[in-house]
Amino acid sequence: MTAEASREDDLALVRAGVEATNNGDIDGLLALLDPGIEFHIAPGLGNAGTYHGHDGFRQGLGGWLEAWEDFTIGVEVEMRLGYMFELRAGRVVRLHVLPDRDAALAAARAGERAS
């Protein structure tokens, strides 16, 4: 497999995860995640912390879903976040939710140095 084909596969995996999330298909999303996923929500964001495995992912994500489900004041809210994904063998092994794109890029660079 070429590097370009691998990159396209990785992008397709991330897009499938976003689509599953947007459709409320948590089981479909979990199928894309490694059973030992590290899910990190940065300090200052709702439900901040580091969660491990599918059960931990559900716990971390659940806090977000509950917060937005109950947040119905009739005002449109826009929130931009940064995401850092690490993929291995066709699965997401690390997913970090960060306050912005720059923080996500910094996290990705730090991960590259640690590898």
Extended strands (E) in 7-98: 33-41, 49-52, 82-88, 91-98
Q: Cβ(109)–Cβ(102) under 8 Å?
A: no
* Residue of 45, 49, 40, 58 lying closest to 94 (CA atoms): 40
* pLDDT attached to residue 21: 85
Q: Which residue has the higher pLDDT, 5 or 100?
A: 100
pLDDT in tens, 70-103: 555 567 767 788 999 999 999 999 999 999 999 9
* pLDDT attached to residue 22: 83
**pLDDT beyond 90 at 17:** yes
Fold exhibited by the domain 3-114: Nuclear Transport Factor 2; Chain: A, (3.10.450)
* pLDDT attached to residue 88: 93
| Assigned token pair, 74 | 């009739």
* pLDDT attached to residue 111: 76
Share above pLDDT 90 across residues of the chain, in percent, rounded to a whole number: 56
